[in-house]
Amino acid sequence: MKKYENRLREIKADEPIFSIPPFKVERVYAAHSQTIDWGVELVGVPNFWRYTKGKGIKVAVLDTGVAYKHPDLEGAIFEMKDFTNSPSGVGDINGHGTHCAGIIAARDNSIGVIGVAPESDLIIGKVLNDNGYGSEETIVNGIEWAVETGANIISMSLGSPYPSVKIYDAIKAAIKAEVFVICAAGNSGPNLDTMDYPGAFDETIAVGSIDRRKKISYFSSRGKKVDIVAPGDEILSTYPPRELAKLSGTSMATPFVAGVSALMLSKHRQFEGQTQIKKQSDLEAHLRKTAIDLGPLGFDQSYGYGLIDPNKLLELNYSKCLELLAAQVK
């Protein structure tokens, strides 16, 4: 942690230094007939749902809680816990956490929206209060609890300009326990060196945002630690109490990457009986190797290694998958 010490400040454990990046609710919709968001279509995620929808993978969303009675999240929540002592408990008054949860695991139920990995399970840790702020203590407790509860992936769409030694240690412990940690780059663009922590830590996978034109979102934070970009502009997902809304931010791109990662892990387990990707460095290497290069040739501080590409990342052996699926039907 020495490389970050010059940017540390003295803080109390209960000081609210971490928060959700600024976001705007574009519009609220009633959840009627089912819609597939543009981002899910853009990178071809529906092509893989016949083979895997993320079954058996648990994704922890550490955020502002969840609207656990939302019809699109019915049956999606494996476990949930409030770390903020909120009067609303784990319920999401803010809306941010519910939106992130839906991007990952909104169910394929003919109404509302469908998430990237609609058969994955959610572990909901409310580490940010109803105003969207959290402390070092709540976030550390949430990370540790998520690992203990069996998370395969932790998705954190929160940030601070200041690093935290305790959060850094908790993240390293999670990674050592073979839990993947995916974080938002932040919404402080377009200038360089604007990334938030914990996304700016070397060990995390930091996600930036693109729009429908595959251009970097103006708000997306830039820097040398950006690893990958994903759709994050005007993303339609679940919103309290039982609605849908369009939100923009790297907060939306982060659970998108978490959802695709859940599909990949589920695919490995379903068709190979195990996963070849166990370490954070393995996932990061796969994301970098398979990304669609955008912007200047090669790595750059806006797009990182490029746009996440499920087609290459999942690399399904279609003939083998079809044989196995046919055998399961019999």
Q: Find out whether 287 and 212 touch, Cβ atoms under 8 Å.
A: no
CA-CA distance, 177 to 171, in Å (whole number)? Answer: 10
* Catalytic-residue membership of 120: no
Reply yes or no on whether 251 is catalytic: yes
Contact 39, 235 (CB under 8 A): yes
- Cα–Cα dist 42/118, whole Å: 17
Q: 72, 109 in Cβ contact below 8 A?
A: yes
Residues paired with 208 in a beta bridge: 229
Q: How many residues does the chain have?
A: 330
- Among 164, 188, 248, 251, the one annotated catalytic: 251
With DSSP H G I counted as helix, E B as strand and the rest as coil, what are the percentages for the chain, rounded to 5? Answer: 30, 20, 45
Q: Is 63 a catalytic residue?
A: yes
Cβ neighbours of 261 (radius 10 Å): 30
Q: Report phi then psi at 319, rounded to 5.
A: -65, -40
Contacts of 212 (CB under 8 A, 6+ apart): 38, 42, 231, 233, 234
19, 37, 70, 96: which one is catalytic?
96
Long-range contacts (CB closer than 8 Å, 24 or more residues apart) made by 25-30: 25/95, 25/239, 25/245, 25/246, 25/247, 26/234, 26/245, 26/246, 26/247, 26/248, 27/245, 27/246, 28/239, 28/243, 28/244, 28/245, 29/236, 29/243, 29/244, 29/245, 30/243, 30/244
Residue tagged active-site, from 63, 72, 92, 233: 63
Q: Which residues are catalytic?
A: 63, 96, 251
